[in-house]
Amino acid sequence: MTFHPWMVLLVCNWCVAIAFAILLLNFYKQIQSWLTVIFSILTLTFILFFISPNLAIIVSTILWFLFLFLPVFGLYWIQFLMFRGSYDRARQLAAIVRWLHPADGLVELPHLLKALTLAQRGNIEEAGNIFKSYQTSETAIGRTVTALFYVTSDSWEDLLIWIRENISDRQLFGVNNLVIYYLRALGETGNIHALLQAVERLTPEFEKRQSLIPLALARMYALAFCGKSDSLGSLFDRPLRRYPKNIRQFWMGTAKLIEGKEQEARQIFDAIPHQSNTNLQQAIARRLSRDFQATSVQLSDGDREICDGIITAVEQEKRYGSALTVANNRAYCSYILIGLNLAVFSLQVLLGGSQNIPVLIQLGALIPEAVWEGQWWRLIAANFLHFGPVHLMMNAIGLYIIGGFVEKTLGTIRYFGVYLSSGIASMAVITILSRFIEFSAKITVGASGSVMGLVGATGAILLWGWHREKARIARQRFQLVLLMVGLQMAFDLSVPNISFIGHLSGVIVGFLITLMLMKWVKLPD
């Protein structure tokens, strides 16, 4: 049996990427066992490759799948379920994952999730007994457990005292969960100044780690305890849109209460389904108590500046954060274009096959000589033809992922104009250069030029946001676009029959057209 060398490359790249990310983010002391697994797989693969390449591929692929892919994928879903408050389902999954990677707290995780489930159902004493068996200030898992003990018992003052007496700044700010509990404790006890200062300090660190959910939660606490309900709603529209609805309502009610809108807050709290969540019942009762209602927020000029900065960042992330994602659900023009490409592809199949050269020529494949002879319509038609299902699928996926953000920003008509202009321009550049350069491919088809034009358009929008609004999220996404374009160009140059010229010209044209259009575009709120 012969295996493809790219499987070894995949395993090695995955391992190196994870190891690099861990070292880059200074996580070594917390998850050193992951590094041990990674370097063990790499070492074994290297040794076996000199003995038997096929054996190296089989063994490394199996080890990668069992001890890296499945645990990482499982941890992602455990964190997602915990984020949603589904502690019992997270516990069931953790009981499986811990056997694949029995280190870094995963052995204890099912027990801790059981305690959280019990606390959620009101069995505080039984949950506390589980927490107490793991409490310590010496290990990361022990510190997290101790904090959870105070959180589930609603003892926010005691949590702050314990942190101040036992936890160093490095320990506190080095673990996402612990610092999130700390931030909430500051808000619950009325230390708004300290809360805002901590959020400002933590923001660059969260961004460096790509800890987007902890960053969103930190901002949620800051906005809620400052009574900024409008901006809190923007936060719930995107990064926290999958946060449980009852928890979102709870924090919106909190913001309304601090804002002085007591009647609206009570209506929100009354509408929250909390019968099965004792912790939430206690939290709502605490909000409606006279002590909490008497709380008033007096922000200094410095605190107000930090709060305004958080509001600006939330609005900018709502505006630019969906770039290169599938978060936008109203990309109607993108869906129509995908459908049109599918319809034309079906016609290709009916007429004789999607890879049938005479059929492609008949339907409008780009032939530079034919264009020079007057068949200009091929510059348009070639953008809707594809050479095989894989070619179509790749362009459709690219259009689906990239198109939504550009369409939302530019509007449907401008978006379609950029898409079509980029495709036509890429075909035109190939046609013109064919007079001076001999291309290996005699015909050119595909929406790749148009899709790459949307990549260029995305870069233009993000560059505009970075330059005009000083939006950090726009800068980060723009750098990602540059990386994507660089990788695409490297791939084009290394693979035969891929139109490097078409892709590059599409990016440039899409970028320039969008940059000119941005002067007349009203950015969506």
CA distance 96 to 510: 48
How high is the pLDDT of residue 26? Answer: 45
How high is the pLDDT of residue 2? Answer: 47
How high is the pLDDT of residue 51? Answer: 84
Mean pLDDT on 500-522: 91
Rounded to two decimals, what is the model's pTM? 0.76
Dihedral angle, C-alpha 158, 161, 167, 168, nearest 10 °: 150
Handedness of CA 35, 36, 37, 41 (dihedral sign): positive
> The domain 332-520 is classified under which CATH number: 1.20.1540.10, 2.60.40.10, 1.25.40.10, 1.20.1250.20?
1.20.1540.10
**How would you class 192 by CB atoms within 10 Å of its CB: exposed for 0-12, middle for 13-18, buried for 19 or more?**
buried
Q: Which tens digits make up the pLDDT trace of 136-193? A: 666 666 777 788 888 888 889 999 999 998 888 877 876 667 889 999 999 999 899 9
CA distance 451 to 503: 9
Q: Are 232 and 223 in contact (CB under 8 A)?
A: yes
Handedness of CA 279, 281, 282, 288 (dihedral sign): positive
Mean pLDDT on 421-431: 94
How high is the pLDDT of residue 187? Answer: 93
Examine the pLDDT at 255 and tell me if it is beyond 60.
yes
Q: Are 395 and 388 in contact (CB under 8 A)?
A: no
Mean pLDDT on 20-46: 66
Q: Which tens digits make up the pLDDT trace of 97-123? A: 888 876 666 777 888 888 888 877 778
Q: Are 226 and 307 in contact (CB under 8 A)?
A: yes
Long-range contacts, stretch 371-376, CB < 8 angstroms, 24+ apart: 371/431, 372/431, 372/435
Dihedral angle, C-alpha 223, 228, 230, 231, nearest 10 °: -30
Pairwise pLDDT comparison (418 vs 9), residue with the higher score:
418
Alpha helices in 153-175 (DSSP H): 156-166, 169-173
Examine the pLDDT at 450 and tell me if it is beyond 90.
yes
Share of the chain above pLDDT 70, in %: 87
